[in-house]
Structure 1
């Protein structure tokens, strides 16, 4: 009887622990969303707002964003889900940017400068968008560069081993993650956001070598 009661206790405790685990509620990884109403970039700029930098890392200590990332990686590992890559996706609204002056020319300058920023030889502040797709990518890359700075300060842990990808969804996806957004050329703060997602590296195949 005592053994039966103990077994029931441990089963109930395991069930309670699982229900408090944010990963196991629907068995999906969390998507960390950084909304524009909290982290507001200057118009047309990818320079990180100060509060976003602080929420990643400040004075060598983990900020709330970095803590969420590390907790998510750890929880996924507990559920036997491998994470190799942190994907950062920039989302904008559908408001047209217009033509900005970049490097004394009209239009964006990402074709000239994007690789330099990614390699760390130029600052993200030099980037100038020619479209919302450019702007989303610029801001995603700025977050990636800040995460890489934090990664260098880590001595160990799974975050230390992560690779990063920067992508842009421009104005195409709504926050509900369901379908392409309808046309809307008005400012819409709810659609402007940075998303941090978690993935694993796959193997490349083509239609020619698909078994």
Structure 2
């Protein structure tokens, strides 16, 4: 029987241990790599579903049209020319219309539906006074408002009897201009929208600061048009 070389046995044992160690390290490396790939893929999926630019809890923009940029004549709801141009100019979208459409697109990407554009007219607390309209004194919205809303007559025929009237008149004037731009659209979300005109008169301060204190001084900072985005909800009568 041939004599076994001790050095050969030691080398074989060393080789076997080293091979086992490298196999173990290789397997560990593969496991770590797979885990890293899993976490990277998961992180990528979460980022694409909920990107920072469109968080699910984001609030819709409130578009403010201040008096220092869009100044109506006293007691009038006829749109200033720059306000008309910023909605739609020669059939092209103006900056206001583009801002509305961009906000609708962002809300839709975060699964929030927009059905209605609400336009709210705000005034300061200065009294409207007694204006002469159609050879009579006092407001005429009770007689003329429906005709203007349907487009049968111009908003220029309206005369306010109060700040509440004036805020509504100006909001309606903006709505009519938006509707005019809507008719030029062939498709898209803006084409499907409904519009609402409201008045807050002198009641609410800018930037949702709450109800205003009594102040009859002229204050252009409070005169503004706000454009808000809303959904059509279900009508419910309490108790039924």
TM-score of the two chains, using structure 2 as the length reference: 0.80
Q: Secondary structure at the match of 1:176?
A: helix
CA distance in 2, matches of 1:108, 1:11: 59
- Equivalent residues of 1:94, 1:183 under 8 A apart: yes
CA RMSD of aligned residues (A): 2.0
Q: Secondary structure at the match of 1:18?
A: coil
| Structure 1 residue 189 corresponds to structure 2 residue 220 | yes
Given candidates 73, 86, 101, the residue that maps to 1:55 is 86
Deviation (angstroms), 1:203: 1.4
Deviation (angstroms), 1:5: 7.8
CA distance in 2, matches of 1:80, 1:5: 26
- Equivalent residues of 1:33, 1:195 under 8 A apart: yes
Deviation (angstroms), 1:178: 3.3
Moved >4 Å (runs of 4+): 11-15
- Equivalent residues of 1:91, 1:171 under 8 A apart: yes
Of stretches 3-12 and 27-36 in structure 1, the one that deviates more from structure 2 is 3-12
Q: Deviations over 1:64-99 (max 9, x none)?
A: 100111111111111111111000000000001111
| Structure 1 residue 114 corresponds to structure 2 residue 145 | yes
Higher relative contact order (CA closer than 8 Å, sequence separation 6+): 1
Given candidates 4, 24, 44, the residue that maps to 1:10 is 44
Aligned length: 206
User: Looking at CA atoms only, which structure, 1 or 2, has the larger radius of gyration?
Assistant: 2
| Structure 1 residue 148 corresponds to structure 2 residue 154 | no
Relative to 1, partners in 2 of residues 1:94 and 1:11: Cα closer, same or farther, differing over 3 Å?
Answer: same
- Equivalent residues of 1:85, 1:165 under 8 A apart: yes
The residue correspondences of 1:128-207 to structure 2 (distance < 5 A) are 128-207=159-238
Q: What 5-or-longer segments of structure 1 have no aligned partner?
A: none
CA distance in 2, matches of 1:203, 1:6: 43
Given candidates 34, 45, 65, the residue that maps to 2:76 is 45
CA distance in 2, matches of 1:112, 1:132: 17
TM-score of the two chains, using structure 1 as the length reference: 0.91
Given candidates 78, 86, 92, the residue that maps to 2:123 is 92
Q: Secondary structure at the match of 1:68?
A: helix
- Equivalent residues of 1:99, 1:106 under 8 A apart: yes
Q: What 5-or-longer segments of structure 2 have no aligned partner?
A: 1-32
CA distance in 1, matches of 2:137, 2:45: 65
